[in-house]
Chain A
């Protein structure tokens, strides 16, 4: 299990209907590429976040496949139009099988 992994998300708490909001996400992760070798010449096994998804009220909004060339602490920022109040669920899938989730609510007036 990768150490020090902590998802962070910034979503506005409220928005008006049809407004475009900016969502920022970051997960602290070392993103070991699997290409590097340690001091003894042994390959350091790959350990990355391989998939990131965002769902809004259960509906898939964004689904990203991550590859080994992506650097430490992957950061995603995207815009979304929120039709109604609801919950954003963000999920990160780790190579080691761990799944990290974070949920944020947006109230639309």
Chain B
């Protein structure tokens, strides 16, 4: 049923047909059309339709994502491709030694984070596991430049695929924990994620147009700091804005929140690497 709804969504979007960005703009890159609006997944109680963050951006920012040459993220993806071939660590291996082609990772980002052996793992965890256990190299910093570029490169392989994060079975306790965090008010301003991204998306908060806080485009390029930004980095930013003490990047709290927020976007296309303000 969900697939059907999604495809109806594409048809409706395609009919509006505008090539450039705008209110009813269609996100398409090299002829590939992305789902930026879809029926909300069943577990969402207060939202009927989910929208990609791209929809909320200005025309100029939207246009940057329509052409891979204009999209500044690709500089970082090129750097990550070089890193992919670079030998590091005591085992004398590079990423390419085991994984022939980075394209083999198509479909990974759309299902992460996921539970492995009772633990919630993110793409960053998987990369660092490879580095420490198979390459004999040092773990990268969670949102460091190397890591964010590499995760963006790997996540990019899933571009165009629908987000479909599992929330049942082993993942259920993490989902519940993430959901609780999403709705818990914290910080001096006493706000929860939901206050902005569920109750007030589409409204302005000062000069910023509030989105639904979807993560389908992450890791993404932000014009604000001219680099690749990760979900956990963004969570930290949000928490500082509401004057709360942020959790650590890679902490169990942020990983659970990442799972919950990703599941809220089930049905949207992966846009990595997206461009945002």
Contact = CB atoms under 8 A, between A and B. Distances in A.
A8 B72 contact: no
B72 A73 contact: yes
A98 B78 CA distance: 20
Interface in B211-230: 226
Nearest to B76: A28
B11 to A, nearest CB: 30
B193 to A, nearest CB: 33
Nearest to B74: A8
A6 B79 CA distance: 9
Nearest to B69: A10
Nearest to B68: A10
Interface residues of B, number: 8
Contacts of B74: 8
Contacts of A28: 75, 78-79
B69 A72 contact: no
A46 B182 CA distance: 47
Is the interface on chain A under 10, 10 to 19, 20 to 34, or 35 or more residues? under 10
A18 to B, nearest CB: 24
B70 interface: yes
Contacts of A26: 69, 75
A24 interface: yes
Interface in B50-83: 69-70, 72, 74-75, 78-79
A58 interface: no
Interface in A3-51: 4, 6, 8, 10, 24, 26, 28
Contacts of B72: 73
Nearest to B70: A24
A4 B86 CA distance: 14
Given A24-B69, A24-B70, 15 more contacts: A4-B79, A6-B78, A8-B69, A8-B74, A8-B75, A8-B78, A10-B69, A26-B69, A26-B75, A28-B75, A28-B78, A28-B79, A72-B226, A73-B72, A73-B75
Interface of B: 69-70, 72, 74-75, 78-79, 226
